[in-house]
Amino acid sequence: MRFRGRGRNAAPPADAAPAPEPAPAGPPPVLVIDALGRKCPIPIIMLAERIREVPVGQVVAVLADDAAARTDVPAWCRMKSQDFVREETLQQGGWGFHIRRTY
């Protein structure tokens, strides 16, 4: 027997408080590279050109909305021995990739 309005997918009440935004999982980036609207490998090329602008041990963020960047950025980090810290989903669409410079 199934009851209406009591299922798991029921909408929250209108007066419910909005869910809090999750706290960032790591240090804030020193440099943000905006590659939104550009196809891969352009975000990778922009990252390779600018990663030397941040000190060793600091984090650079690459913003991209091309789905190929989700595999290309971590692969580039493995090839270049840089630390891929994390990926976050952006509110406007796309992702933010955080990379720590190791050398």
The residue annotated as part of the active site, out of 40, 44, 85, 99, is 40
Contact 74, 83 (CB under 8 A): no
Residue 89: its H or E element: strand 83-89
What DSSP letter does each residue of 37-68 carry, written as one string?
Answer: T--TTHHHHHHHHHGGGSPTT-EEEEEE--TT
77 is catalytic: no
Starting from the edge strand earliest in sequence, which strands make up the sheet with 31-34, in order? 31-34, 59-64, 95-100, 83-89
Q: Name the residues annotated as catalytic.
A: 40
